[in-house]
Amino acid sequence: MKAAQLNNELSTLCTVLLSNLNEVVFFSKITGQIHDMTGEYKVQGFVALNDGSTRLIAENGQSVNEVVLAKGQGLSGYVSRIKRAYYSNSVRRDPIASTSKREDCVESELCIPMMVDGSVIGTINIQSIKKDRQFSESDIALVNDVLEAINAPLRNMHMFLVAQNLNKELMAKIESRDKELTNRVEIRSHIQDGECELIGHSKRFLDVVALARKVAAQDFPVLLEGNHGVGKKQLARKIHQWSGRKGACVLSNCSAFTEAQMDRELFGKNGLFVQANGGTLIIDEIGSLSLNIQSKILRTLVAGEMMTVDSDERILLNVRLVVTSKIVLKTLVEAGTFKEDLYYRLNTVHALIPSLRDRQEDIKHLAEHFLNGKRGNGEAKILTSAALEKLCGYFWPGNAHELKNVMERTYILSEGQYIEADHLPEFAKEVVTEVAEEVVIEFSEMTLFDLEKKHIIGTLDHLNGNKTRAAKALGITVKTLYNKLHSYGMIEARELQ
């Protein structure tokens, strides 16, 4: 094709693309132009999505039924990740190209990223059925020349796709909020120290809440167990509210006092049992109490009365007891540090509140609640899908309490309306101790040539294409590495100089 004719065609293409902001039209026109220029079997256009997947929407100038490839799948996914062109001149033997689905007649394939300011918005894939077709750097240069000629519409499409993705995220959030209004368990009440909330969608969490609501009207003691920060005290307060008891809801933190102080705190003339008379006493972390205090609590429960420590006054009591523990009390009983008879009396109703890692579907709702709280629409911030993915990928040892601290800190330190993944702190990785198991190696027919190629390409990919470091890691010279890459059809002979 003559240069003047090509320039005219690219100028016309640029005008058409600038006048029609539609991704299907955009990729159809580009694949059609490149198909006419190369005369190859197929030229495909893939859109790169936010989650790392890619979507085939155009082929040889025509729109196609959209096919979505999972993150990293196919040459389009691989190239979108590494952000550089890749070609395979033997797709059936290439371990990287083998992840793509294509017709059996295809012999070789070239995939080139469409990039704007370092972001990949899609890929152009050129497939050839010619047995002697060898893609090279000159083919990459040809396609890049076309992309350079349509730089303005390429930038427009980038902005359009960004706006489109943001709009989808906003619509998803609106739908989620609408659903939340009818399905979300979010219960508010004013109980002594302010608002108490239970937020969750997961079945395990809802089952615990349903049990607590069911037994709330009874006077049985309730034992709530669960790791630190799961919301044991919040649920205990809700049990008091649902019980309809007229007296106060009083909270005691056992770990904050010595034994003598705890004795006065609970059994003094104006102690917590007296303050909670007619209402509910929540004893937090009851497992930290001494055996002596445990015995006095048991006697009080059995007798329905107590003797005050400071005046020996006998006081009749009508107190609902709800206790919490982050340690499984049964293990303390077995260790001899918790009274067995008290345990069985407290264990009349038992609920284990699941950790956040066991109800990951609740992370999104809790994070958005902790992020914005009671803030108005003008102050509210929005978590992007990448930020939510990062939150859901963390194991949250501190549970909802830790999540609350992270979101409040993020709101203060982030600027703008959108919370991106890099606005969140870097979370520690979970250390998992694995039991060694027998390794079963599955056999796969592969020549030594292919095995060596797969390992070398994998090493290059791991080291971001740095050939000097790759050669050192492989234990070969840089020249040897270049020779091998040339034999794979990945570089031209001129690069060996």
In a domain, 10, yes or no: yes
In whole angstroms, give the CA distance from residue 226 to residue 352.
Answer: 6
Is 277 in the same domain as 133? no
Is 335 in the same domain as 459? no
Is 413 in the same domain as 297? no
Tokens of 46: 């893939």
Is 264 in the same domain as 212? yes
Please give the chain's pLDDT, 497 residues, in tens.
567 788 888 888 898 888 888 889 999 999 999 999 999 999 999 999 888 889 999 999 999 987 888 888 889 999 999 999 999 998 888 888 877 788 999 999 999 999 998 899 999 999 999 999 999 999 999 999 999 999 999 999 998 888 887 777 777 666 665 554 444 333 333 333 344 568 888 899 999 999 999 999 988 899 999 999 899 999 999 999 999 999 999 998 877 788 999 999 999 989 999 999 999 999 999 999 999 999 999 999 999 999 998 887 899 999 999 999 999 999 999 999 999 999 999 998 999 999 998 998 899 989 988 998 777 767 888 899 889 999 998 989 999 989 999 999 999 988 888 999 999 998 887 655 454 455 444 556 677 777 888 888 888 878 777 888 888 888 888 888 888 887 776 765 555 55
The CATH number given to whatever domain includes residue 409 is: 1.10.8.60
Strand 280-284 relative to strand 320-325, pairing: parallel
In a domain, 440, yes or no: no
Name residue 294's amino acid.
Q
Is 154 in the same domain as 123? yes
In whole angstroms, give the CA distance from residue 332 to residue 323.
Answer: 15
In whole angstroms, give the CA distance from residue 202 to residue 223.
Answer: 21
Is 107 in the same domain as 220? no
In whole angstroms, give the CA distance from residue 34 to residue 23.
Answer: 17
In whole angstroms, give the CA distance from residue 82 to residue 317.
Answer: 70
Is 119 in the same domain as 229? no
The CATH number given to whatever domain includes residue 474 is: 1.10.10.60
Is 127 in the same domain as 207? no
In whole angstroms, give the CA distance from residue 376 to residue 434.
Answer: 47
In a domain, 439, yes or no: no
Q: Which residue has the tokens 């070239």?
A: 110
Is 211 in the same domain as 147? no
Is 402 in the same domain as 310? no
The CATH number given to whatever domain includes residue 155 is: 3.30.450.40
In a domain, 443, yes or no: no
In a domain, 442, yes or no: no
The CATH number given to whatever domain includes residue 267 is: 3.40.50.300
Tokens of 137: 């750097």
Indicate the residue among 307, 322, 354 that finishes a domain.
354
Is 36 in the same domain as 123? yes
Domain count of the fold of the chain = 4
Name residue 339's amino acid.
K
In a domain, 278, yes or no: yes
In a domain, 75, yes or no: yes
Indicate the residue among 132, 165, 198 that finishes a domain.
165
Is 333 in the same domain as 197? yes
Helix (H) or strand (E) holding 222: strand 222-225
Quote the Cα angle for 210-211-217, to 5°: 100
Indicate the residue among 103, 133, 165 that finishes a domain.
165
Tell me the residue range of the domain where 488 lies. 448-496
Write the CA distances from 366 to 315, 359, 383, 406, integer angstroms: 43, 11, 12, 11
In a domain, 179, yes or no: no
